[in-house]
């Protein structure tokens, strides 16, 4: 299951992309975008490190 993002709350800091070991995230147009969601290993690193709590694993 890929993480979900609230794009309205995303500040485009890039932390999710930096901490994701599977390369799921990239920053495009100042927002986080899942470029490889099927690679998600559900480690929760993106969720735990998002400074504005825009990500969740459901």
pLDDT at 58 exceeding the cut of 90? no
How many independent structural domains does the chain possess? 1
Residue 38 sits in a domain whose CATH number is 3.30.70.20
pTM above 0.85, yes or no: yes
pLDDT of amino acid 23: 97
Domain of 34? 4-56
φ, ψ for residue 45, nearest 5 deg: -60, -40
Span 16-28, pLDDT tens digits:
999 999 999 999 9
pLDDT of amino acid 33: 96
Query: If you average pLDDT over residues 34-54, what whole number do you get?
Result: 96
pLDDT of amino acid 22: 97
pLDDT of amino acid 1: 75
């Amino acid at each position: 299951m890929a993480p979900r993002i609230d794009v309205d709350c995303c500040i485009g800091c890039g932390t999710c992309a930096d901490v994701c070991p599977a390369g799921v995230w990239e920053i495009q147009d100042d927002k986080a975008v899942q470029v490889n969601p099927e690679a998600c290993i559900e480690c929760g690193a993106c969720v735990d490190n998002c400074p504005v709590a825009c990500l969740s694993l459901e």
